[in-house]
Amino acid sequence: MADNDNLQLNTSGDAIVIYKSKKAALSQNTVKRGEGVYRRTVRLVKGLKEARAKVKALDYCSAENKADIYGEVLRDAYEPVFTAGEKAANTLWNFIYKLWFDILGVFVFIINLIIKFFYYLGAGLRFLWEKIWDLRVWADVHKKAIFQIFAAVAVTVSLALILVTSMSAYEYSYFGRKLGTTKTKLDVYQTIDLLGDKLAENAGANINFNAERDIEFKRVYGLGIKTDSRDDILNALTYMSDIHVTGYAIAINGQQVAIMDKPETADAIIAAVKEYFAPKEEGCEYTSVSFEEEVTVEEVNVSLSDLWNPDDAARYIETGVVRELRDDEAPNPLVTVYASASVTYDEEIAYGVQYRRDSSMYQDEVILVTPGEPGINRIVALVQTINGKEVSRFEQSNTTVKEPQDAVYKQGTKEIPIHNGSGTWVFPIQARYTISDYFGPRVAPRAGASTNHKGIDIACAMGTPIHAADGGTVTFVGNRGAYGKLVIVNHGGGYETYYAHCSSYAVKVGEDVYQDKVIAYVGSTGVSTGPHLHYEIHYQGTALNPLAFYGR
C-alpha cells in the first residue's frame, strides 16, 4: 500500500489520468501545460539523445524496438499534433461513411420513383387502349349512321364555302387609294412579284414593292362582284406615278441634286463623276481624287416619278444640264474635283546627222548608210488637275532609257560632170549581175512578152541602183504596158536609153542627169519573170544591141 499512497489523480480534463507519484503528476502538468514549439523541440532533442543512449546500452535492439523508442519520444514531444491528426482522420472517416449512406439512399429513392412512373404509365396506356377498343367496337356496330352524318356535314360545309367564296372578294388599296377588286389576295401578291421588272422597263429603276407594307385589303360581299384580272392589277400598280418608293439622294453640300433607286447606283454615279474628271490613262496613277464640296448619299422616301435615270444624273452633275451640251455651250459642273496623279511618259530625244565624204560619189549624191534613231527620256511627274484641267506639273525624275543614234550619210565629193551626152557609155548596173536574155529574136518567156527582144535583160538583186549610161535629159518617167515602170533618157544626137521594170524612180521628167547618176532602182514590174533591168539603146527611133556599145 506504500506505493498506492504515491498515486495521484488528475481530473483536469475529460479523461482521468492516474500517475505513480506526485512528482510525476507535477512533472506532466508542468511540462505539457502551456508548452510552446520551442520548448517541445528542445525536449524532443534531449529525448532523442536519451533514447539513443538507451538503445546503445542494450545488447541487442531490433528495428521495431528502435522505432517504438524513438516514436514514443516524438509522440511525447508533439502529442497535440498526433492527437489532432487522429481526430481529423476519425472525423473524415465518419463524414465519408455518412455520405455514402446518404448517396445510397438517394439512389434507392430515384430507382423507386422510376419504377412507380413506369407502373402508372403502363396502367394508363392499358386503360386508354381498352377505351379505344370499346370505341372501335361501337363504331363498327354504328358505322352506317356515322358515315351518313359525316357525309352530310362535309356537303354542308362545302356548299357554305362555295357560297361564301362566290359572294365575296377583296378591295385592294394603296395608302388609302382604292385601286380595284380582286378575287383572292394571292393574285395581288403574285402580280407584285412581277412588278419590279415592269417598273424597271417603264421608269428605268429597280423597285422593290412591299405588298405587306404598302397594300391594304378589305373583304366585301355581294352578288355579281366584278374582279380584276392579273393584267388589270399589274397595270393599276405600274402606271401610278405617285407610288411610294425608297430612294437614295445624291446631296452636294446638303442640297439634293438627283435621286436614285439604290445606294449602289448613287455610289456608282459619284465614282463615274470622279472618273469623268480624272480619267484612267496608261502611265497615270492617281494618288488622290476628291471633291471640294461635301458629297453624300441620303435615304429618302419619294414617289416613283422622282427617281432619276443614272445617265441623266451623271451628266447633270458633270455639266450642269441633263441634255447633251451644244457646241456653243460651256459646261457648268455642280462639283469641283481635285486630282493628283503620278504620270509616267516618254519624250523623244532628237538624233543628229553625220556625213561621211566619199570620193567615188558625185557631189549631188547622198546615200543613207545608217538611219537615225531617236532616243527616249522617261519622265515621272506629279500632275495636279481641277475638273480635268492641268494646273501644275512637277517633274520628279528624268531618266534616259535609250540613247539617240545619229543618222549616217555618205556624200560624194567627185565633181559633177556635164549633163550633155559625151558619146561614151557606162554600164547601167555596177553591182553583181547576170545577163539573162540577149538582143534579138527569142521564145517569149511568158505570155505578153515580146518575141523580138529590143534590149538585154540584166538580172540582179531587187532594189539595185540603175545608173544613167550617159548624160542627158529625162523625157519619160512612169508606167508603160509590158515595160512596167520605165525611165527614158535623151542623150542628144538621136540617142535614147530605156530602163524598164523598175521598182521606183530617183528622177523626174525634164531633169538633166549626168553620166553614172542613179536614176531608178531594179524591180519586176510589167511583164517580168523576176527582178531585172530591161536595158535598150535607140538611135533615131531604132533599137540597137546594147552590148555592141561595150565591145561585147
Domain boundaries, the chain: 1-33, 168-240, 246-335, 342-411, 418-550
3-state DSSP call for residue 358?
A: strand
Q: How far apart are CA 65 and CA 68, in angstroms?
A: 5
Q: CA angle at residue 232 from 230 to 238, to 5 degrees? A: 100
Q: What is the pTM of this model?
A: 0.43
d(CA 169, CA 225): 7
b/e map of 144-175 (b: 16 or more CB within 10 Å)? eeeeeeeeeeeeeeeeeeeeeeeeebbebebe
pLDDT at residue number 403: 93
Q: Which of 542, 525, 397 is nearest to 462 (CA)?
A: 525
pLDDT on residue 532: 95
Do 418-550 and 342-411 fall under one CATH topology?
no
> How confident is residue 241, by pLDDT bands cut at 50, 70 and 90?
low
Q: Is 186 helix (H, G, I), strand (E, B) or coil?
A: helix
**Of the ranges 229-233, 317-321, 469-473, 513-517, which one carries the lowest mean pLDDT score?**
229-233
Confidence of residue 209 (pLDDT cuts 50, 70, 90): low
Q: Which is more confidently placed, 138 or 204?
A: 138
Give the model's pLDDT for residue 199: 57
Would strands 542-544 and 532-539 be described as parallel, antiparallel, or unpaired? antiparallel
Whether 16 has a pLDDT exceeding 50, the answer reads: no
Q: How far apart are CA 289 and CA 340, in angstroms?
A: 7
Which of 228-237, 239-248, 325-334, 374-383 holds the top average pLDDT? 374-383
Amino acid present at 361 = M
Strands annotated E in 480-531 = 485-492, 495-500, 502-505, 512-513, 518-522
Mean pLDDT of the region 41-57: 79
Residue 325: is its pLDDT beyond 70?
Answer: yes
- pLDDT band (50, 70, 90) for residue 223: low
Split at pLDDT 50, 70, 90, the class of 405 is: very high
Helix (H) or strand (E) holding 378: strand 375-386
Mean pLDDT of the residues in the chain: 83
183-187 — which CB contacts under 8 Å span 24+ positions?
183/227, 185/217, 187/228, 187/230, 187/233
Q: pLDDT tens, 454-505?
A: 999 999 999 999 999 999 999 999 999 999 999 999 998 899 999 999 999 9
**Taking residues 530-537, what's their average pLDDT?**
95
CATH of the domain spanning 418-550, picked from 3.20.20.370, 1.10.3470.10, 2.120.10.10, 2.70.70.10? 2.70.70.10
Confidence of residue 198 (pLDDT cuts 50, 70, 90): low
Q: Counting every residue, how long is the chain?
A: 552
Residue 517 and residue 468 in contact, taking contact as beta carbons nearer than 8 Å: yes
d(CA 400, CA 403): 7
Indicate the pLDDT class of residue 151, thresholds 50, 70 and 90: confident
| The pLDDT of residue 347 | 93
pLDDT tens across 63-114, in order? 777 777 777 777 777 777 777 777 888 888 888 888 888 888 888 889 989 9
Residue 200 confidence (pLDDT): 53
Q: What's the rounded mean pLDDT across residues 176-199? A: 72
Give the position of cell 481526430: 87
Superfamily the domain 342-411 falls into: Resuscitation-promoting factor rpfb. (2.20.230.10)
Q: What does the pLDDT read at residue 53?
A: 80
Q: How far is 43 from 45, CA to CA, in rounded Å? A: 5
pLDDT higher than threshold 90 for residue 508: yes
| Distances in whole angstroms, Cα of residue 417 to Cα of each of 430, 468, 514 | 18, 12, 6
* Torsion angle defined by CA atoms of residues 512, 514, 516 and 521, in that order, rounded to the nearest 10 degrees: -10
